[in-house]
Amino acid sequence: MPSVLALFAHPDDIEFAAAGTLALLHKRGWDVHLMNLANGCCGSTVTSRAETARIRLAESKLAAAHLKATHYNPIFNDLEVDYTQEAIKHLLGIVRKVQPSIVLTHAPLDYMEDHMQTCRLAVTAAFAKGVPNYPDPTESGYVDAYYSDVTVYHAQPHGNRTPLGQIVRPGLVVYVDSVMDIKRAMLAEHRSQQQWLKESQGMNSYLQTMHELGIEVAGMHRNQTAMDMLGQYAEGWTRHLHLGFSASQIDPLRDALSPLAIQLE
């Protein structure tokens, strides 16, 4: 059974950016693994840090259950995601145990540092899977290196724009209309975020925002005939350079989800 590992920053990031793609892979027999690196402790103006982290972990596990996914606990507080050797080794252990064919993560340029640091950590962990001398093989908890191909894909930045407001057009669009009910249900599990996102980011409805972002990505395909056939909601992905990750420029996400996955010119 092929596996996919999604490494994102906060509870609800996976649902906004990747849940449709993950649901399609799950329906096609893929083993799904999910991790939020940060615990969501700052995502409230009402509850304490500890209580907020507890609530958001429970919500994340409920969301993961929709895909029968393996869920991994966070290792950082919000706004503290950092590119450290300890974090790289932790994620590398997960990568080597899961041996995913696909790793999904944030865009290298996104609207906040937690997202960009998560991206850096995910890329390094995927790269280091086949480096037998990292970490030191004598270290406790060392997991053996493996050498099969892995392909890293970057999600659309939140808002489909760079931090300087430039629109980002993905390399691959995945039409997710057939699983929008699952994507919406997964995001809806994050009930604690409705008030927080309204107050902090002006989202009157985070579920409506998710729909609007999906419509915008589908519109980037610029092919009305295909949109009429495939739907109106899409998630966007850009493939990381293959050097150090796979033998050639393979595209397993497009191959796995054809004909719903369309490469853009």
The CATH architecture assigned to 3-263 reads 3-Layer(aba) Sandwich (3.40)
CA neighbor of 182 nearest in space, from 1, 48, 24, 17: 24
pLDDT reading at 68 higher than 60: yes
Q: 221-235 pLDDT, tens per residue?
A: 876 566 667 899 999
In which band, very low, low, confident or very high, does the pLDDT at 96 lie, cut at 50, 70 and 90? very high
Q: In the numeric block, which tokens belong to residue 253?
A: 């996400």
Beta-carbon contacts of residue 264 (< 8 Å; ≥ 6 apart): 169, 170, 171, 172, 173, 220, 221
In which band, very low, low, confident or very high, does the pLDDT at 248 lie, cut at 50, 70 and 90? confident
pLDDT reading at 152 higher than 80: yes
Burial class (CB in 10 A: 0-12, 13-18, 19+), 124: middle
- In the chain, domain spans: 3-263
Q: 172-216 pLDDT, tens per residue?
A: 999 999 999 999 999 999 988 877 666 666 655 788 889 999 999
